[in-house]
A and B are shown apart, each in its own frame.
Chain A
């Protein structure tokens, strides 16, 4: 990095918040993908004005600029694959307002998802999107990736809760999209465009969120099925009954095998699929809903049902779910984790296809996820030390994506494209659509400084040269 650029950065944020020391470059070189690329310099920003000045500087000097939240992304969104400035937003972490009359909250992007949830719940309010990473991911990162979670079956994903944004453009302008009102049709809906843009169109510096009243009570059930078809039919049966549970999590047989020995609830060998169903709302209503659910799923090959009567029992059920991730490594050391999504009714077809792929290629594939919205976490578990395993995994991945798209599904339900899935983009989108998206990127960021090389493989790499 040129000395004058460094000096300007120091001028903007102060010397304590700029570093090009090797150790700082190392600790800001990765995210949850485990891949590593060294940035040239790391900058911590504290307000929108600083962000704006940094963007202006990066744009004039044509230096890649990478917004970074908690670095918990699963697709390489914050990786500085072409070096440049990593711009860390974790210290912009103030909750600016919680408005219980209008049911809104205004936050800075570095606020941790669960921290906001805790604060609003103290006032009887509720922010539903609940990625499994909510205890550490930032809301800025959630907005940039349009994060989802188990509760999204009933409530929707991050984009359904974003009313307005303050965004710093790649040119350094500070713009506002949307607003504080539920209804707003003035001009283009830039809010929706920025949500899920993976830090490629602008840097989110303030977020206005929609809140809902906190549900009074919830009820958790764990149902074990003989077959995955039974579990899938149960999902359809529940929805047909006009009940939308808060969560409808499933695990396939391979997943159950991983946790059987440590599960706090006995999982007999006859159990080949499992659903965790939770309903929330008025206490009387959810009792009724729980009964109706039990009635409609009864004929579908149930091994065992557990309905939590206390919060401790409900905790125990969720513990079964939490056991999953840490147990996967028992299968094999290296995990390739994808989050494909298919129409709800196609979940069994997808699982069958995955089982077949697993057999054909002789690699364990463990699947669990959100049955309610067809979002399947596919985990191909391998040992990369085995010869030619890497190539094999890529082949399997490609087949998985092709199957998902073939079933009218999608490559990613939650985690985004980033660098990890860029090369599969054209499996789902035709070239005209991709060109339109690139035109949007070009309009926002003609110098391609903001998070270059993400989402699209063939962007204008030649234009970017770090000084």
Chain B
């Protein structure tokens, strides 16, 4: 079974940091707090000191290590591509292994593991009310990401009555000569935005693919990874590769950037990576472009009433260099006038479970997007990650703007409906 790397396994990476400080320019946590402990360089220095036994897992070190969105912005610009999110993940796992999950953040695990506590803590306006949580599996990242009692005043979408698995069968047969593809839905799409998943599956079926949506698939593990819950990540990685092992497939498609980063990128770094699974993972924008969607949308008659839409780069796509495909799709959409915004690639501030521990800081990071958004004059901000949608909408609401955060697939669905 795949297993997480330990801090010691990352020693070579850690020693590659030349302390140039370049990461300061790109780290959202540092840019907000301007503290050395918050930036990649600081965290790597702590990792090195941990390895050298110069410091233990003390409270202030935990605080520094908790101040990371695992967004990978630093890795992209680092001259030596030091993998800070992996290093941070490894330290968080050591912390939880040592002291238990609850020490990380504000007793998150206690809340997650005790329905009774949840019930008493949960009050009106909460995202995941206990009732709703009953429908969300224990291991779902949603529980880690949006533990309602910890985030005062977060504005959140209403949960739909039916989840994705109620809406679609597990296997849909396509046309004879087309291969099978898998759809990895992830928690947010399954429970919060099933319509996005439904759209994706409809498009795939329309293209003639056979589509496998295994009901036994679980959370990708990104939130657990972010919370330092190493064994949960391992369990999920195993479960997902088994779930998708059933049919021989060409691709496993994600419509959530975080899930893509989880099952596509993170699993690849684990010991005994199941390549037969991880190598097939592909983001939907890349897949759609390869399958002629840009041309198809471009050939459609442009609507007379179009909406002005801008784009937010989810970190987990940006760091993989997937920035052109979503824009190509937006530009081609007949129902959309695409405009760029300043700071499109700035992190929204959600960061795995970061916003649950550091909601105020998370909001402040996200708020940096507001001036660019306002200047762009866009009516909607599209993105390719449901987590970003929830966070962006919250930030927009707090800024009192009228802009709506949407998934790219929402816009594609709208365009295709007129066909």
Contacts from A to B (Cβ < 8 Å): 19, 21-24, 26-34, 36, 44, 70-72, 88, 90-91, 93, 110, 112, 114, 133, 135-137, 325-326, 329, 335
Residues of A within 8 A of B37 (CB): 23-24, 27
B328 at the interface (CB under 8 A from A): no
Contact A23 B64 (CB under 8 A): yes
Inter-chain pairs besides A23-B37, A326-B80, 14 sampled, C-beta below 8 Å: A22-B56, A24-B60, A27-B37, A27-B64, A31-B21, A32-B21, A44-B35, A88-B35, A88-B36, A133-B20, A135-B22, A136-B24, A326-B79, A335-B18
Contact B61 A23 (CB under 8 A): yes
A/B interface sample: 29 pairs, CB < 8 A: A21-B59, A21-B60, A22-B54, A22-B56, A22-B61, A23-B37, A23-B63, A24-B37, A27-B45, A30-B19, A31-B19, A32-B20, A33-B19, A34-B18, A36-B45, A71-B36, A72-B20, A72-B21, A90-B35, A93-B34, A133-B20, A133-B22, A135-B22, A136-B21, A136-B22, A136-B24, A325-B79, A326-B80, A335-B18
Please measure, in the bound complex, the distance between the C-alpha atom of A32 and the C-alpha atom of B20, giving whole angstroms: 5
Contact B45 A114 (CB under 8 A): no
B274 to chain A, nearest CB (A): 32
A71 to chain B, nearest CB (A): 6
Contact B21 A26 (CB under 8 A): no
Residues of A within 8 A of B58 (CB): 21-23
B25 at the interface (CB under 8 A from A): yes
Please measure, in the bound complex, the distance between the C-alpha atom of A29 and the C-alpha atom of B64, giving whole angstroms: 15
Number of inter-chain CB pairs below 8 Å: 80
Residues of A within 8 A of B54 (CB): 22, 26
A23 contacts which of B21, B22, B60 (Cβ < 8 Å)? B60
Contact B21 A70 (CB under 8 A): yes
Residues of B within 8 A of A32 (CB): 18-21
Contacts from B to A (Cβ < 8 Å): 18-22, 24-25, 34-37, 42, 45-46, 49, 54-56, 58-61, 63-64, 79-80
Please measure, in the bound complex, the distance between the C-alpha atom of A32 and the C-alpha atom of B25, giving whole angstroms: 15
| Smallest Cβ-Cβ distance to A34: which chain B residue | B19
Contact B45 A26 (CB under 8 A): yes
Evaluate whether A27 and B80 lie within 8 angstroms (CB atoms) in the complex, with A22-B60, A72-B21 already known: no
| Smallest Cβ-Cβ distance to A33: which chain B residue | B19
Please measure, in the bound complex, the distance between the C-alpha atom of A136 and the C-alpha atom of B24, giving whole angstroms: 6
Contact B46 A26 (CB under 8 A): yes
Contact A70 B24 (CB under 8 A): yes
A329 contacts which of B45, B64, B80 (Cβ < 8 Å)? B80
A87 to chain B, nearest CB (A): 13
The 4 closest A-B pairs by CB, nearest first: A135-B25, A21-B60, A27-B42, A136-B24
B55 contacts which of A22, A36, A114, A137 (Cβ < 8 Å)? A22
| Smallest Cβ-Cβ distance to B63: which chain A residue | A23
Residues of A within 8 A of B59 (CB): 21
B34 to chain A, nearest CB (A): 4
B208 to chain A, nearest CB (A): 38
Contact A91 B34 (CB under 8 A): yes
Please measure, in the bound complex, the distance between the C-alpha atom of A31 and the C-alpha atom of B20, giving whole angstroms: 7
Please measure, in the bound complex, the distance between the C-alpha atom of A19 and the C-alpha atom of B61, giving whole angstroms: 12
Contact A110 B34 (CB under 8 A): yes
Please measure, in the bound complex, the distance between the C-alpha atom of A352 and the C-alpha atom of B271, giving whole angstroms: 50
Residues of B within 8 A of A30 (CB): 19, 45
| Smallest Cβ-Cβ distance to A72: which chain B residue | B21
Residues of A within 8 A of B63 (CB): 23
B385 to chain A, nearest CB (A): 26
Residues of B within 8 A of A70 (CB): 21, 24
Residues of B within 8 A of A93 (CB): 34
| Smallest Cβ-Cβ distance to B22: which chain A residue | A136
Please measure, in the bound complex, the distance between the C-alpha atom of A335 and the C-alpha atom of B34, giving whole angstroms: 28
Residues of B within 8 A of A335 (CB): 18
Please measure, in the bound complex, the distance between the C-alpha atom of A77 and the C-alpha atom of B19, giving whole angstroms: 14
| Smallest Cβ-Cβ distance to B64: which chain A residue | A23
Please measure, in the bound complex, the distance between the C-alpha atom of A32 and the C-alpha atom of B19, giving whole angstroms: 5
B53 to chain A, nearest CB (A): 12
| Smallest Cβ-Cβ distance to A325: which chain B residue | B79
A343 to chain B, nearest CB (A): 30
Most chain A beta-carbon contacts within 10 A, residue among B35, B46, B58, B80: B35
B173 to chain A, nearest CB (A): 47
Residues of B within 8 A of A22 (CB): 49, 54-56, 58, 60-61
